[in-house]
Structure 1
Amino acid sequence: MRKSILLIAIFLSSLPFLQAQKLDIIPKPVSIQQNAGQFVLPSPLKVVADKKLKNSIDYISANISKNTGINPVVSVGKKHGKNTISFLVDTKLDLPNDGYQLEINEKGIFVKGKTANGVLNGFQTLLQICSAKEVKKGTVPFVKIEDYPRFEWRGMMLDCSRQFFDKQTVKNYIDWLAAHKMNIFHWHLTDDNGWRAEIKSMPDLTLKGAWRGPGEVLLPSYGSGDKRYGGFYTQDDMKEVVAYASARGISIMPEIEIPGHSRAVTASYPEVGCAITQELKSVQGEVKNVWCVGREENYDLLDSIIREISGLFPFEYIHVAGDEVNRANWEHCPKCQALMAKEGFTDSFQLQNYFFRRVQKIADKYHKKTDGWNEILKGGEIDPNTLISAWQGISYGIESAKKGYQTIMMPGQYTYFDMAQSETERGHRWAAITDTKRAYSFEPIPNDDLTPEEQKNIKGVQGALWSEYLDRPARIMEYQSYPRISALSEIGWTKKEDKNWDDFYGRLTHSHLKRLADMGIAFRDFPPSAIYQNGIITVTPPYENAVVRYDAQGNEPTRNSPLYSKPIQTKDYENYLFRTFFNEDIASPAVKVEKLPVAEWSTSTAEILTISKNISEHVDKNGIWYLTFTPTADGASNGAIRTVSLFENDKLIQTFPEEKTLKSKPRLRFVIQNYNEKNTYRLNFTVENKEAKESSAKVNFNCSPYLEPQVKVTSSMVENPKFPIANLEDYNIETYLRTDVACANGDWILYTFTNPVVASKIDVLTGIPHHPRFIVNNGYVEYSYDGIDFIKGDAFDYGNASIFPKQPVKAVRIQITGTNNEPLMAGQDLKINP
């Protein structure tokens, strides 16, 4: 009996060691085995580093000190004793080049890799173990890890043209990538809006082309305003950054954007462009931004540029772009047309192919391979060693791989981190609304579309951060990057079968967000969810111990706002906003209170569903109500919706008989004028799923916070027929006005209401919805109570202005006092607050 009690006591005393500590490693390793016990870091802490790591010793030493609080004593060599941390390169290891082995036991810490980069990857895992939430500082648990990446190419691109990021910011970005075992930094150095790389043989590229603003060769754009804006990296800067990245296991691929997106070049050296009189606009609205293919002297200039860039960047690839080329310039250019006739070409894609074959010969001369966007596959054969960056969609990556090209999968729908992360946040929307969960869902190898041999052509995965809308607020570059890059790192590293969102999210929120904060990254925290039901707002924090604050007046919550601690009883749920706060620099977007869906369905059968729902509890006021149909996931948008009807006390209010596809995300407008809390409301509609494919959606019914009075809009400016002035009369947030030219002093837009409108506030918005592009920079808004005499209101600030009328308003007018220095101007519907 006494012996049994003793055994039980021994067992209980060992429980803390038997219960494995959560290490929360991102990206998730291939194999991890935790053992009982822990290694206590001694002081002094001895570190032995292989001589092949000599360029990384300062980096290793500084990060050990930062993560353990102990300054290590570092020696170079292979000999190691007890209680040391050893970093060794063993070329005989049976692992891929970037793989590593990490073992922590009673003798010390041992990190081995087949290459120096493999050892550095193991070092990143060690740092994460030291910083895991459950690991006591100064100790590390006994563990044995064998790990290697799924893909050899794990990259991230940063656009430094539209917004210029200084050298230290670029270094910080590289540090953050290294911490996630990313191994390629794609440096987008040139574009229409700024040339950032010093080229000594063409000094005007940076003397002129690196700057935009009044009196510069480049107009203001992307928030740079009426001031001189820009900058560039000297050749010494670029060499310094290359060495910095190399010490962290990262290779830098420079991108020189040609032949399109080259306004910075043609503005600095006009002879480079086509000699045409027409101002033919690119997709972004730029003019004269294409190299002339038929001008033979241009290939000598390209030789000079590629020669200098090749000497600065030792990486085997140089990215030569090739996307969104405004080929219409070539179709009007005598030299380009003469070249077409000489070569027997029948379309301008063949000219593009000719250009890239010439560029590839230049790159070969300087021992470089070329990488290009997927458009360079058009127009003819290219060098079989060309790397293809498939950005336009997964299908373009499939096409490239089927043609036998090494392919980087970076579809904008998942890996473009300039995309907005929710419907209310800043960012592009052309590809998708892409939050961290959506980014994590990306699978780079489409098994059903590629044979096993073709799958081998998928070389890796990459993200991109284009910087058009990174001018504000402060540190939005970090907010847009993380934690989406944390998700990207796991896509590139972790085995497909080991990927699991819930597991990743647990590791991320338990320890890894704190790591990001400790690295100084102002990341986007996850927002809470707030649901209104039966007069009560209930908030669910995004993870355990998350701090959620709220505002009840419709303002964005601050760190001084009340702390959410229990459900809130209220009838004014529309005025509440909630937000997660991580620390002084880090927070989530503010979110509104939502109601539960009024209906939903999920089917994978070819069938017709007739849905009838009593939605009385959802209707609580008179107003304009919108019914929205939103697919619950990618690939769930099959089917059509028709005969949508709303009934009040069994009397039809309104019906929409026409068929609408679920893929179009229908948004239907209803007007409720006779609300009474005793009324009953019923929604009827039919869903036809015509194929045996997934059709799944949530149906929401919400009252608009704005008034939508009948209005007539006129303007002094000529409209683009595809974006007519009439778009300003429909109160549809997705439609807007585009003019055909930039606005100028004296231009105006007049909104005239059929009947005077009682409003507390009217917001007047310019630019594309959600984007600060084509906004009014110089001007003001004015308003009239009688449609004749006008009162001057606020000046436009970053494209927006507001008025606060004291009487019913008959008209609102935008008065423009100067150019917006952009190719065109855009306007939006008024937002009229009751």
Structure 2
Amino acid sequence: MIRRCSFLLFCLLVLSPLHAAPAATVPSLIPLPSQISLASGEFRLDARTPIVVAGPDRATRRTAHWLADRLTHTRGLHLSVRQGGATSGAIVLQRDPRAPVERREGYALDVTPDGIRITARDDAGLFYGAVTLWQLLTPDAQHGALQLPALHIRDQPRFAWRGLMLDSARHFQSVAEIEQLLNQMAEHKLNMFHWHLTDDQGWRIRIKRYPELTRIGAWRTPPDAGHDGEPQRYGGFYTQDDIRRVVAYAAARYITVVPEIDMPGHAQAVVAAYPQFGVTGRRPPVSVDWGVNPYLYNVDDATFRFITHVLDEVMALFPSKYIHVGGDEAVKDQWQASPAVQAKMHALGLKDEDALQGWLIDRVGRYLDAHGRRLVGWDEILDGGVPADATVMSWRGTKGAIKAAQQGHDVVLSPAPDLYFDQLQSDRIDETAGRMPVRDLASVYAFEPVPKELDAAQARHVLGAQANAWTEHMPTMQHVEHAVFPRLAALSEVDWSPAASRDWNSFTRRLPAQFARYRAQGIAYADSAFAVDIALDRNAALVSGTAQVTLSNQAGSGALHYTLDGSVPGRDSPQYQAPLTVKLPATVRAVTLAADGSTLAAPRQRALSRADLLSVSGHQMPNCPGSDFRLRVQPLPDATSLAPVYSTNLFNSCQLYPATPMDGLATIHVDAVRLERNYALAHEAKLVVSHPHTTPFGELVVHLDRCGGPVLASMPLPDPAHSARKFELHAALPAQHGQHALCLLYTAPIDGPLYALDRVALLPEGVAP
């Protein structure tokens, strides 16, 4: 008789420390299934184990081949697929209308000593069962046969919309790269790929009736084109055959592709191609500026015919029930300044431009509804009224979702910054480009899609949650993968697993196997959550020559091992238990290891000497008081490497060097960098602070203690037209005593380049820069 344990007992085992229970009781599954019960016995799976397709349907056979392919690539097991026949000792996949699941996409997976069986009522459920089995069969980075413990899984998703948005307008990805991303979505049981295809910076989908959209609108001339590695022309587009290929590839993995065609704002690429559909009639260039640009669609009948013609071709390519029309960040200045638009607005009896946008969105919504589709828009569509059956995607926090659900609209939670994967994952010096504030792995895992303000009936309108990967600061798929993974694993559990089963410690213990799967598939995931932070009291070390070093990581998980002799730390190195007393100079190197000895994060190091402690990265220097805005940007908008990156504040180029014992320090040395000011700030441009300058191109001014403190030094900036992007500045400092902070402030004209601080060092008397 098979001995079964309850799901509660299983959870206790999973959530207990790894060393307290046999490894077989802790399946490394992400997302965690709804119910698992353990049984007695094991099943040995090896290259002789067949995958049996029980039934004639092509979808089941396709899933069987998917499973066989994944095992070949990630486990080195080559399993045969056969139609029907003996099932003893086999993996059996079967569609069964009586499968013991309650919802669509659910499945049952049973492992016994006699074999493995996956059943589901629909094709998607059977596929997700195969995904779970693949994860069970890849518990580590090993290849070959393995013993699988007997167990029973009954699983189904919590939410119907489990999404990821990829922005292909700001930076362009190849079809093969998108297919790689779709593979990972499927392996995380995500089912909605929101594809952002049009924006001010590029139109990426070929529309046969309007060829200028891609001949002109798909290409932009970068700032400083042709210099310092910046391309002469940037862009690209997807042919209609490309679109069909992506849609089919996604459908084979039970992913719906939801296209976004932005309107009425984010339309500069459209107006560059067809100025008659803009408001002014003038042709702008395709934008090179990130942010909020002013160009809007016109609201006349000719423009609406253009929109419907585009939507006709879009609907022919995308079978999705949902069509996303944007509706966000439409600055109404052009509408307000246009007599024709104002006349149209008054003729329609509309009170303001927000209502005019609502009229346009409603008209588009009715057109989509007449063609059997459903409009999705960002939460700004609520501002001017919204079609009754529209789905609202809430990005300005969760208020839009709450308002929409209370009005009876279906909603998808996709709030900034919580689920914006272009937010930085850490504030480490070695983190790549992105926005602040940090949204780390734990914060994504802690996100709850159902706002507490909704009652039970309103909560039923929450379709699920979606992460967004905006690509202004992610020019390559390597950037995208670094930003998306492993935070997508956290989101998958938020979207799929029961809320009550979510447990951070359990999740982090299941990550080593997931990291191994990423490595096996060449996914450039970030290890930021487990990277060791090497911290100390800098000033105490400068005064005493001895540092009290503390080691930690974001996740609060894993074993930290370190060395002080310059060697690479590993499992045999000392394990960190308490702060280390380190005599300067020294180099501390540390690594985070999982319980099985696998690496959770690559080794990090910190050199500790007086010179190193007096040299501070610009990333470590906070903004001066008054503006919290912060970006990490590449040296050029389309740079393809992950490093270097620089911290900058678009509104006030002012940062603080931390309080430091100043006795004996005589010189300041700055590694400075000039950046492109390719940012459209719309109405927020008035917030940019202009500092007076006394030389033609401005200065880097050093103030004592605070921005209004005494001036200690002023270093003129070089002519941007005749100097390298990265340059050095240095100046003598008047003698100071005691601890003081320094305010470093760029006074460059705000209609010119941006400047950032790469590194700032203070040097003692007698030491040359």
Shorter-normalised TM range? 0.7 to 0.9
Shift of 1:220: 6.7
Query: Does structure 1 residue 327 correspond to structure 2 residue 332?
Result: yes
- 1: CA distance, partners of 2:656 / 2:22: 58
Listed one character per residue, the Cα deviations across residues 34-85 of structure 1 (whole Å, up to 9, x for unaligned) are: 22322112543322234143444442331133344332222345x6521121
Alpha-carbon distance change, 81 to 830 in structure 1, aligned in 2, over 3 angstroms: closer
2:758 aligned with 1:826: no
- 1:654-678 CA distance string (max 9 Å, x none): xxxxxxxxxxxxx9999676889xx
CA distance in structure 2 between the partners assigned to 1:29 and 1:504 by the alignment: 12
Can you give the 5+ residue segments of structure 2 that lack an aligned partner in the other structure?
1-19, 538-545, 624-654, 671-683, 704-709, 735-743, 763-769
Alignment of 1:85-104 (within 5 A): 85-93=91-99, 94-104=101-111
1:535 equivalent to 2:540? Answer no
Give 1:451 shift.
1.0
Q: Which one of the candidate residues 347, 351, 360 is aligned to 2:356?
A: 351
Q: Give the corresponding residue for 2:442.
A: 437
Deviation at 1:344, TM superposition (A): 1.3
Cα distance in 1 between the residues matched to 2:307 and 2:102: 40
Q: Does 1:514 align with 2:526?
A: no
1:750 equivalenced with 2:699 (yes/no): yes
Percent of matched pairs sharing the same residue:
27
Q: Among residues 110, 119, 133, which one is paired with 2:117 in the alignment? A: 110
Q: Equivalences for 1:648-797 in 2 at 5 Å?
A: 722-726=687-691, 748-751=697-700, 779=721, 781=723, 795-796=724-725
The one-letter amino acid of 1:87's match is: L
Normalising to structure 1: TM-score of the pair? 0.69
Matches within 5 A, 1:469-488: 469-471=473-475, 475-488=478-491
SS of equivalent residue, structure 1 residue 324: coil
The count of aligned residue pairs is 652
Residue of structure 1 in register with 2:297 after alignment:
291
CA shift for structure 1 position 536: 3.3
Q: Does 1:420 align with 2:348?
A: no
Amino acid at match of 2:481: E
> Hey, what's the Cα distance between the residues in 2 that align with 1:271 and 1:243?
35
Q: 1:632 maps to what in 2?
A: none
Match of 1:35 in 2: 39
Alpha carbons 1:45, 1:70 under 8 Å: kept: no
Letter paired with 1:209: G
Distance 1:354 1:671 in 2: 56
Q: Is 1:169 aligned to residue 177 of structure 2?
A: yes
Q: What are the Cα deviations for residues 231-266 of structure 1, in whole angstroms up to 9, with x where unaligned? A: 111111111111111111211111111111111111
Contact kept? 1:442, 1:491, Cα under 8 Å: yes
- 1:483-507 CA distances to partner (integer Å, 9 max, x unpaired)? 1000000000111111111111111
Structure 1 residues 36-45 or 245-254, which shifts more?
36-45
Contact kept? 2:561, 2:569, Cα under 8 Å: no
The 8 Å contact of residues 569 and 589 in structure 2, kept in 1 or not, is answered as: no
The Cα of 1:584 is off from its aligned counterpart by: 14
Residue of structure 1 in register with 2:541 after alignment: none
SS of the aligned residue for 2:424 comes to coil
Within-5 A mapping of 1:138-149? 138-149=146-157
Offset of residue 724 of structure 1: 2.1
| CA RMSD between the two structures | 4.7
Q: 1:591 to 1:337 in 2, by over 3 A?
A: farther
Alignment of 1:100-249 (within 5 A): 100-133=107-140, 137-213=145-221, 225-249=230-254
Determine the C-alpha separation between the residues in 2 that align with 1:18 and 1:559.
28
Residues 590 and 267 of structure 1, relative CA distance in 2, 3 Å threshold: farther
Contact (CA 8 Å) 2:157, 2:497: kept in 1 or not?
yes
In 2, are the aligned partners of 1:779 and 1:814 still within 8 Å (CA)?
Answer: no
- Partner Cα separation in structure 1 for residue 256 and residue 590 of structure 2: 41
Q: State the shift of 1:723 in Å.
A: 1.9
Aligned partners of 2:74, 2:727: CA distance in 1, in Å?
Answer: 49
Amino acid at match of 2:317: L
Q: Secondary structure at the match of 2:536?
A: strand
2 CA distance for matches of 1:42 and 1:270?
63
* Shift in Å, 1:407: 0.4
Once the two structures are superposed, the pairs formed by residues 620-639 of structure 1 within 5 Å of their partners are none
Residue 643 of structure 1 corresponds to which residue in structure 2?
A: none
Give the Cα separation in 2 of the matches to 1:572 and 1:728.
41
**Contact preservation (8 Å) 1:528, 1:579:** yes
Secondary structure of 1:415's counterpart equals: coil
Distance across 2 between alignment mates of 1:114 and 1:260: 43
Structure 1 residue 342 and structure 2 residue 270: aligned? no
Q: Distance in 2 between matches of 1:308 and 1:148?
A: 35
Q: In the TM superposition, what is the alpha-carbon distance from 1:780 to its structure 2 partner?
A: 5.0
Q: Distance in 2 between matches of 1:275 and 1:185?
A: 35
Shift of the 124–764 alpha-carbon distance from structure 1 to 2, 3 Å rule, reads farther
Does the residue aligned with 1:506 lie in a helix, a strand or coil?
A: helix
**C-alpha distance after superposition, 1:563-609 (max 9, x if no partner):** 88777644558986867699999956968699xxxxxxxxxxxxxxx
Q: 1:278 to 1:265 in 2, by over 3 A?
A: closer
Residues 532 and 573, structure 1, Cα contact 8 Å, conserved in 2? no
Matches within 5 A, 1:488-507: 488-507=491-510
CA deviations 1:294-320 (Å, max 9, x no partner) are x21111111111111111111111111
Contact persistence 2:405–2:458 (CA under 8 A): yes
User: 1:616-675 CA deviation, whole Å, 9 max, x = no partner?
Assistant: xxxx9999xx9999xxxxxxxxxxxxxxxxxxxxxxxxxxxxxxxxxxxxx999967688
Match in the other structure for 1:639: none
Rate the CA distance shift 1:349–1:550 in 2: closer, same or farther, 3 A. farther
SS of match in other structure, 1:75: strand
2:270 corresponds to 1:268: no
Distance apart, 1:365 and its partner CA: 3.2
Which residue pairs with 2:727 in the alignment?
802
Task: Determine helix, strand or coil for the equivalent of 1:748.
Answer: coil
Any idea what the Cα deviations from partners look like across 1:678-723, whole Å, max 9, x if unmatched?
Answer: xxxxxxxxxxxxxxxxxxxxxxxxx9x9789xxxxxxxxxx96522
- For the structure 1 residues 271 and 261, does the alpha-carbon distance in structure 2 shift closer, same or farther, using more than 3 Å as the test? same
- Per-residue CA distance 1:725-783 (angstroms, 9 max, x = gap): 33999xxxxxxxxxxxxxxxx97223467999799xx9989xxxxxxxxxx9x6455xx
Superposition deviation, residue 353 in structure 1? 0.5
Change (3 A) 1:286 1:70: closer
Change (3 A) 1:674 1:61: closer
Q: What secondary structure is seen at the aligned counterpart in 2 of 1:490? A: helix
Contact map agreement 1:528 1:548 (CA 8 A) in 2: no
Task: Indicate the SS of the match to 1:45.
Answer: coil
The unaligned stretches of length 5 or more in structure 1 are 1-15, 595-619, 630-666, 677-702, 709-718, 730-745, 766-775, 782-794
Using the alignment, how far apart are the partners of 2:604 and 2:338 within structure 1?
A: 51
The alignment's TM-score, normalised by the length of structure 2, stands at: 0.74
Query: What is the SS of the residue equivalent to 1:485?
Result: helix
Contact 1:196 1:231 survives alignment (8 Å): yes
Q: Is 64-73 or 23-32 further displaced after alignment?
A: 64-73
1:72 is paired with a residue of what secondary structure? coil
How does 1:394-413 map onto structure 2 within 5 Å?
A: 394-413=398-417
Matches within 5 A, 1:589-604: none
1:780-807 deviation per Cα after TM superposition (whole angstroms, max 9, x unaligned): 55xxxxxxxxxxxxx00xxxx2316597
Query: What is the identity, as a one-letter code, of the residue corresponding to 2:688?
Result: F
Distance 1:225 1:749 in 2: 25
The one-letter code matched in structure 1 to 2:37 is Q
> Which one-letter code corresponds to 2:92 in the other structure?
S
Structure 1 398/67 Cα, relative in aligned 2: closer, same or farther at 3 Å? Answer: same
In 2: Cα distance, 1:247 partner to 1:80 partner: 27
